[in-house]
Amino acid sequence: MNIHYDEKKKTYYTRVSLGYNNMGNRIQKYVTAKTKRDIQSKVAKWIKQFEAGEFDEVERSDEPLLFSDVVNEWMAEHVAELAVNTRNSYAARMNRMLKEYDERIISEITTRDVRLFLRSLQQEGLTAETVNTYRNILSSLFTYATRNKYVAENPVSVIKQMRTPKKEIQTFTSLQLASYLDGCKALAEEESSHGNYVALKTAAYTGMRISEVLALRWADIDFESGTIRVGRSLSYSSKEKRYTLDGTKNQRVRHVTISSELVRTLKGYKMQWMFLMKQLRDEPNPEFVDLIFLTVEGKPRHRSYLRQWHKRVLRRKGLAEGFRIHDLRHTHATLLLELGEHPKVVQERLGHKDISVTMDMYTHVTMTLQKQTAETFGAMMEHKTVD
């Protein structure tokens, strides 16, 4: 039983479920009290009545659920499982929604109410992408409420997302990527910052997100089979001033094959890493002690520091300064597709949930490949047909 505390109302609350009745409705009760002991006492009494056959199911609707009640429950049960930065993002936007719906009974919030709220966000000057984020968070909340039978239906489900301009993907050519990695290696040798070079090379050679690269442990790398197990990502909360290790973006574990060249680079860096561990200024947090990309302070490598280092390389090599570290991931996928690799393989390497995500994201490549395929087919048929 999860007991939560509502700071605003200064009360404890929980929701207890005892399964479903023969009509398929969940048997549950929302319980509030001033102390945890009172909550536990009320729940024990309710369960005892249920087991004695004295429970009236109408009792589960003893008070109307407010929007804020469901938000607290949803945040505790659903959002708590997300990555720390995602949780903070949800919490910040939810504060805005609570100003709108705080004391409203959730079952009385209509599709028109939601439309008016989203329209007000547009009028405030928020981008279509940001408005869609609010819409998606609300939809997730009401899906939870529907599943738990707090509301009859999701009022957001019929509201379409706003159209957003498609972002152009920025990539390196193979020659530019080689020049960039040479620049990384040279700067790393000058400053003895080999971890930066190896992290960025790993991102470029695997298509991994940089948060996934920075969460790697040596146990995740199988040098014999030439594979990397990708199952975690590193997040930093500027609000909480701490690092956390979370699951990957879609909470799935994947295995990415790596070239013999990257295996050699990683093996060489492991020797340097073992020396670094003896020179650490501070004892690492036990959670991070075997991370591959620790700093000399014994802390995980911060993305903002790596980003600044990356920009220095771009300036040195005369490459576009707007090129982001995340664009190494796009470059990896684009170059593989241009080489004729099957999109399914690219999807699995990138960890996209569905191949349609990969195909949609790299339309610029697939259209070029389709043109090449059409020309290849036409050239073949020229030799088969007679005028």
Dihedral sign from CA coordinates of 7, 9, 11, 15: negative
Residue 261, domain member (yes or no)? yes
243: Cβ–Cβ under 8 A, 6 or more apart, which residues? Answer: 234, 235, 236, 288, 299, 300
Both 221 and 76 in one domain: the answer is no
Entry field: residues in the chain? 387
Beta bridge partners of 237: 242
Note whether 349 and 341 are within 8 A (CB).
no
Query: How many structural domains comprise the chain?
Result: 2
CB atoms within 10 A of CB 266: 21
In order, the DSSP letters of 129-188 are HHHHHHHHHHHHHHHHHHHTTSSSS-TTTTSPPPP-PPPPPP---HHHHHHHHHHHHHHH
Q: Which residue has the higher pLDDT, 356 or 160?
A: 160
pLDDT at 57: 47
pTM assigned to the model: 0.69
Both 138 and 180 in one domain: the answer is no
Q: List pLDDT tens digits, range 237-254.
A: 777 788 888 888 877 899
Distance CA 311, CA 314 (A): 5
Residue 163, domain member (yes or no)? no
pLDDT at 322: 92
pLDDT tier for residue 61 given thresholds of 50, 70 and 90: very low
Residue from 324, 204, 338 nearest 259 by CA: 204
Residue 136, domain member (yes or no)? yes
Both 220 and 335 in one domain: the answer is yes
Q: Which residue has the higher pLDDT, 63 or 216?
A: 216
Residue 385, domain member (yes or no)? no
Domain harbouring 350, CATH code = 1.10.443.10
Both 336 and 195 in one domain: the answer is yes
Both 120 and 178 in one domain: the answer is no
| Least confident residue range of 24-33, 168-177, 304-313 | 24-33
> In this model, does residue 228 exceed pLDDT 90?
yes
Percent of the chain's residues with pLDDT above 90: 42
pLDDT tier for residue 360 given thresholds of 50, 70 and 90: confident
Both 193 and 98 in one domain: the answer is no
Residue 238, domain member (yes or no)? yes
Residue type, 117: F
Note whether 76 and 91 are within 8 A (CB).
no
Full domain range(s) for residue 30: 4-147
Residue type, 87: R
pLDDT at 63: 59
Distance CA 176, CA 179 (A): 5
> Cα–Cα distances in Å, from 315 out to 45, 192, 292, 312?
70, 19, 27, 5
Residue 325, domain member (yes or no)? yes
Q: Which residue has the higher pLDDT, 81 or 77?
A: 77
Both 178 and 315 in one domain: the answer is yes
In order, the DSSP letters of 206-263 are H---HHHHTT-BGGGEETTTTEEEE--EEEEETTTTEEEEE--TTS--EEEE--HHHH
Both 137 and 276 in one domain: the answer is no
> In this model, does residue 2 exceed pLDDT 80?
no
Residue 377, domain member (yes or no)? no
pLDDT at 58: 39
pLDDT tier for residue 366 given thresholds of 50, 70 and 90: low
Q: List pLDDT tens digits, range 78-125.
A: 777 677 777 778 888 988 898 888 888 998 999 999 999 999 999 999
Q: Which residue has the higher pLDDT, 314 or 75?
A: 314
CA 223 to the chain's CA centroid: 28
Q: Provide the token pair at 246.
A: 């979370």
Distance CA 180, CA 177 (A): 5
pLDDT tier for residue 76 given thresholds of 50, 70 and 90: confident
pLDDT tier for residue 59 given thresholds of 50, 70 and 90: very low
Q: Provide the token pair at 113.
A: 């109410």
Both 139 and 209 in one domain: the answer is no
pLDDT at 91: 84
Both 182 and 83 in one domain: the answer is no
Q: List pLDDT tens digits, range 336-354.
A: 988 888 889 999 999 988 8
Domain harbouring 41, CATH code = 1.10.150
> In this model, does residue 62 exceed pLDDT 50?
no
pLDDT at 55: 53
> In this model, does residue 20 exceed pLDDT 70?
no
30: Cβ–Cβ under 8 A, 6 or more apart, which residues? Answer: 13, 14, 15, 60, 62, 63, 65, 69
Q: Which residue has the higher pLDDT, 13 or 143?
A: 143
> Cα–Cα distances in Å, from 339 out to 165, 221, 347, 361, 378?
28, 26, 15, 17, 20
List phi, psi (to 5°) of 239.
-70, -45
Both 72 and 191 in one domain: the answer is no
Query: How does the average pLDDT of the chain come out, rounded?
Result: 84
Residue 102, domain member (yes or no)? yes
pLDDT tier for residue 283 given thresholds of 50, 70 and 90: confident
Both 245 and 281 in one domain: the answer is yes
